[in-house]
């Protein structure tokens, strides 16, 4: 079932926000977006994984490192057992107005671009065993 990917429209909420209700609402929104993409035969992942988060935006954005934790926490019990399973995370932000050359693009990512709105693309993959440290 990996990779598993989904999109969420809108602006992510930073872990640093003082508005705890908004943060909890954001986590619920993330969980619901993931649930909508889960295939019927999906089993919660119990192995080590990698998470890639890309925020495509137009305008001001939260710090890229502060959007990771709420998303990872929101996926516990939905996609994986525990966020301790996440052994690598990549988080980045890109202007939605740029031109990109995309190889092997997924239908999920294309649907994000088709909306024309700010969105996050979240991809969970099996952890790669590598003896090369970079």
The model's pLDDT over 85-119, given as tens digits with 9 standing for 90+, comes to: 999 999 999 999 998 888 889 999 999 999 999 99
**Where would I find the H helices in 38-123?**
68-74, 107-115
pLDDT at 102: 81
Which is the CATH superfamily of the domain at 4-126?
A: Holliday junction resolvase RusA (3.30.1330.70)
Domain ranges of the chain: 4-126
Q: How confident is the model at residue 49 (pLDDT cuts 50, 70, 90)?
A: very high
Mean pLDDT value of segment 120-126: 96
Q: Is 134 a residue whose pLDDT tops 80?
A: no
Q: What angle do CA 14, 15, 19 make, to 5 degrees?
A: 80
Distance CA 8, CA 49 (A): 20
């Amino acid at each position: 079932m990996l990779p598993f990917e989904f999109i969420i429209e809108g602006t992510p909420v930073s872990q640093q926000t003082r508005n705890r209700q908004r943060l909890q609402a954001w986590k619920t929104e993330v969980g619901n977006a993931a649930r909508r993409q889960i295939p019927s035969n999906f089993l919660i992942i119990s192995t080590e994984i990698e998470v890639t988060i890309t925020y495509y935006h137009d305008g001001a954005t939260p710090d890229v490192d502060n959007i990771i934790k709420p998303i990872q926490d929101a996926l516990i019990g939905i996609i994986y057992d525990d966020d301790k399973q996440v052994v690598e995370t990549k988080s980045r932000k890109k202007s939605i107005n740029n031109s990109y050359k995309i190889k092997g693009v997924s239908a999920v990512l294309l649907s994000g671009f088709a909306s024309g709105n700010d969105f996050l693309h979240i991809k969970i993959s099996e952890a790669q065993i590598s003896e090369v440290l970079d």
